[in-house]
Structure 1
């Protein structure tokens, strides 16, 4: 049955930044498809809530409270998966981000920090996870969460966009290094209604403007990204590696412009 190709029965996934937003939706979606999950973030109360939602599906979530900007903390998640569940099949590198800032106010340190948080964290977990995947499952799937801003230029996003573009190319490069046993793909979300867009959700004119600038005439839901992550993690995508799925409502230009003055 074709739907069986979207099952993750008895597989084990690590999802970073899983206390809310995209990471939480992905963890819940994986559990609904049959997986146990290691969920990691800084806020324990958020993680406990997600763990309860996972338990309601009949699966188990192992909570790890950690500062995921620390490469040592993030690399330890692979060990946590094997110690708790005995195997590791899937990694979702979701943690990341950087605040918008005008280009001339963006220091070299700002750029380095954005790269470290968005690319360095992913690499740390990949390096730790791949040996565990090969030893316990024999194969694996890695899903990196990039951003539509990694391919669409916009003012004030130099650090964030550059880091996400680097993560997209890291995905393609890692896929070549880790083939054929480990698949590496990415998702480039557009504007998704998570807490990062609270200011938009509460501002009707701004939300309407963004929706009208999106070909599908709506903003994304975290479930849209969870569904894409499930596809990339599951056997359904077994002939896919080194690719970035653009889950963005059809954007060909940013749908939100930060009103910075010309120089």
Structure 2
């Protein structure tokens, strides 16, 4: 028998929910019947089936007002997806303290602020709630060129583990270590389709994820199917990345 996830009547907030993985998450929750609110720094048209609010998640006071506003307008807040984040390429030796602080603010401090605001609302609700933090495989392996981003995502994972203990049983919180994912910006980011194809050959699944595939994991963690899952980090990376040494071994037979 097929298992259907029905979130009718649930209210979901997705930060950075207007493009890329966030847009895929928002669309998936709409398909599951939820009331979906997205937020971003820019005032853009809301995607079909959603409403949109403008908020810079790096501003804790703006975050608190947004989260409380969503809960007040809709009478509840069941799920928050902490998706906003990202980082330009910069080697550690070249990055300024200001640059590193900005990367940490967007990818860790803002996640903490959103989660804290959501927890305050959810603890006051009889039904509690669920928080899903979008982390990265950069938290788990070397990330030259985005080292501070990787450190920020590692902090997200550790914060998630601790919050899972502190905020239980009313609030569940989990993170997802997302691997490489195709978005409208993928080819430009990696230097073209040929480079993307070469990168995909290093992934056991043979391709990058689609945003909706990441969204499926988010939907599971937000649903009652994951009612006993909290403080966990789930890897969603298509099997990982092929180690470079395997290319060396391809032309060498071990003794």
Q: Give the TM-score, by structure 2 length.
A: 0.89
Return closer, same or farther for 1:40/1:137 CA change in 2, 3 Å cut-off: farther
Residue 149 (1) aligns with residue 138 (2): yes
Corresponding residue of 1:260? none
Residue 18 (1) aligns with residue 17 (2): yes
Residue 79 (1) aligns with residue 78 (2): no
Partner Cα separation in structure 1 for residue 109 and residue 98 of structure 2: 14
Q: What's the CA shift for 1:134?
A: 2.5
Partner Cα separation in structure 2 for residue 189 and residue 238 of structure 1: 21
Structure 1 unaligned segments of length 5 or more: list them. 55-60, 256-263
Residue 68 (1) aligns with residue 75 (2): no
Partner Cα separation in structure 2 for residue 179 and residue 254 of structure 1: 38
Structure 2 unaligned segments of length 5 or more: list them. 245-255
SS at match of 2:14: strand
Corresponding residue of 1:33? 32
Partner Cα separation in structure 1 for residue 101 and residue 3 of structure 2: 43
Q: What's the CA shift for 1:201?
A: 7.6
Matches within 5 A, 1:223-238: 223-238=212-227
Residue 191 (1) aligns with residue 180 (2): yes
Return closer, same or farther for 1:109/1:200 CA change in 2, 3 Å cut-off: closer
What CA RMSD, in Å, does the superposition of the two structures yield over aligned residues? 1.9
Matches within 5 A, 1:36-51: 36-45=35-44, 47-48=45-46, 50=47
Corresponding residue of 1:176? 165
SS at match of 1:173: helix
Mapped contact 2:39–2:54 kept (Cα < 8 A): yes
SS at match of 1:63: strand
Return closer, same or farther for 1:115/1:201 CA change in 2, 3 Å cut-off: closer
The structure carrying a bigger helix percent of its residues is 1
Partner Cα separation in structure 1 for residue 193 and residue 29 of structure 2: 33
Corresponding residue of 1:213? 202
Mapped contact 2:57–2:114 kept (Cα < 8 A): no
